Structure 1
Amino acid sequence: MNRNHPRRGRIALMVAHCAGMVDLVALPVWVGTLISRFKLDPQQAGALATLFLAGAVVASLIVAPRVGRLPVRWVATAGYAVSAIAFFCLAMSTSFGSMAALHAVAGLSAGAALSVTHGTIARSDTPHRLFAQVGFALGVFGIVFLGATPQVVAAAGGHALFLVFGGVMVVATLVCAAFFPAPDATAAQPEAGRQRIAAPVWFGIAGVSAMALVQAMSFSFLERAGADQGFAVGAVTAVLVAAGIVNLLPAPLAALLEKRLPARSVLLAGPVLQAALVMTIMNATTFAPYATAGALLVAVMVFTHTFAFGLLARLEPTGRALAATPAMLMVGAAIGPVLGGTLVKASGYASLGYAAVAIALIAVACMSQLPKPSVALPVQKPAT
Structure 2
Amino acid sequence: MSGQKFGVAGSVALVIGHCAGMLDLVALPVWVGALVERYGFSPQEAGALATLFLLGAVGASASIAPRFNQLNHKLLSTLGFAITALAFFIASTQSGFAMLALLHLIAGISAGTALSIIHGTMGQAANPHRLFAFAGIAIGLFAIILLAAIPQLLIVRGGPVLFQVFGGIMVIAALACGFLFSNPTSRIRHDKSPFSRATWLTIFGISIMTFNQSMVFSFVEVIGKGRGFEPEHVLAALIALGFVNFFVPSPLAALLQTRVSAPLVTQIGPAIQAVLAVIVTSATLFAVWAPAAAVFVAVQIFTHTFAFGRLATLDPTGRATAATPATLMVGAALGPIVGGALGENLGFEALGMAAVVVAAIAIGFFTKAKIA
TM-score normalized with structure 1 length: 0.88
1:131-280 equivalences in 2 (<5 Å): 131-183=132-184, 185=186, 188-190=188-190, 193-229=191-227, 231-248=229-246, 249-280=248-279
Whole-angstrom CA distance in 2 between matches of 1:352 and 1:38 = 24
Deviations 1:314-346 (A, max 9, x none): 001111122121122222222112222333444
Asked whether the 8 Å contact 1:67–1:116 carries over to 2, the reply is yes
> What is the distance in 1 between the residues matched to 2:99 and 2:221?
31
Q: Give the partner amino acid of 2:245.
A: N
The 10-residue stretch of structure 1 (221-230 or 208-217) with the greater mean CA deviation from structure 2: 221-230
Give the residue type in structure 2 aligned to 1:245.
F
Letter in 2 for 1:282: T
- 1:6 is matched with which residue? 7
Contact kept, 8 Å, 2:43 with 2:344, in 1: the verdict is no
- Which letter maps to 1:156? R
- CA deviation profile, 1:56-99 (whole Å, cap 9, x unmatched): 11111111111111111111011111112222222334554333
2:72 maps to a residue whose letter is: P
CA deviation string 1:20-72 (max 9, x = no partner): 11233223333333344444454443333222221111111111111111111
Q: Which residue of 2 aligns with 1:74?
A: 75
After TM superposition, the structure 1 stretch with the greater mean CA deviation from structure 2, 288-297 or 314-323, is 288-297
Cα distance in 2 between the residues matched to 1:46 and 1:350: 17
Q: Is the counterpart of residue 49 in structure 1 residue 50 in structure 2?
A: yes
Paired amino acid for 1:253? L
Partner of 1:382: none
Alignment of 1:81-100 (within 5 A): 81-93=82-94, 95-100=96-101
Asked whether the 8 Å contact 1:203–1:366 carries over to 2, the reply is yes
Question: Which amino acid letter does the alignment assign opposite residue 215 of structure 1?
Answer: Q
Q: In structure 2, how many angstroms separate the alpha carbons of the residues matched to 1:94 and 1:204?
A: 40
Deviations along 1:233-275, one digit per CA (max 9) or x if unpaired, are: 4444433222221111201110111011111111111111111
Q: Which of structures 1 and 2 has the larger relative contact order (alpha carbons within 8 angstroms, sep 6+)?
A: 2
1:124 aligned to 2:125? yes
For residues 123 and 255 of structure 2, the distance between their equivalents in structure 1, rounded to whole angstroms, comes to 18
Measure how far apart 1:171 and its partner are: 1.4
What's the secondary structure of 2:323's corresponding residue? helix
Which deviates more from structure 2 when the two are superposed, residues 217-226 or residues 360-369?
A: 217-226
Q: SS of 2:258's equivalent? A: coil
The alignment of Structure 1 onto Structure 2 pairs a total of residues equal to: 369
Aligned equivalents of 1:106, 1:238: Cα separation in 2: 29
Taking every aligned residue pair, what percent have the same amino acid on both sides? 49
Residue-by-residue CA offset, 1:114-163 (whole Å, 9 max, x unaligned): 01111111111110000111111111112112222333343334333322
Tell me how far 1:183 sits from its aligned partner. 4.7
- Counterparts of 1:229-378 in structure 2, within 5 Å, are 229=227, 231-248=229-246, 249-284=248-283, 286-371=285-370
* Secondary structure of the corresponding residue to residue 260 of structure 1: coil
Is the Cα–Cα contact under 8 Å of residues 19 and 142 in structure 2 kept in the other structure?
yes
CA contact (8 A) 1:282 1:350 kept: yes
Say which SS state the counterpart of residue 317 (structure 2) adopts.
Answer: coil
Return the letter of the residue paired with 1:195.
S
What CA distance in whole angstroms lies between the structure 1 residues aligned with 2:184 and 2:251? Answer: 22
Q: Distance in 1 between matches of 2:357 and 2:342?
A: 13
Give the stretch that moved more between structures: 88-97 or 239-248: 88-97
Task: State which structure, 1 or 2, has the greater radius of gyration over its C-alpha atoms.
Answer: 1
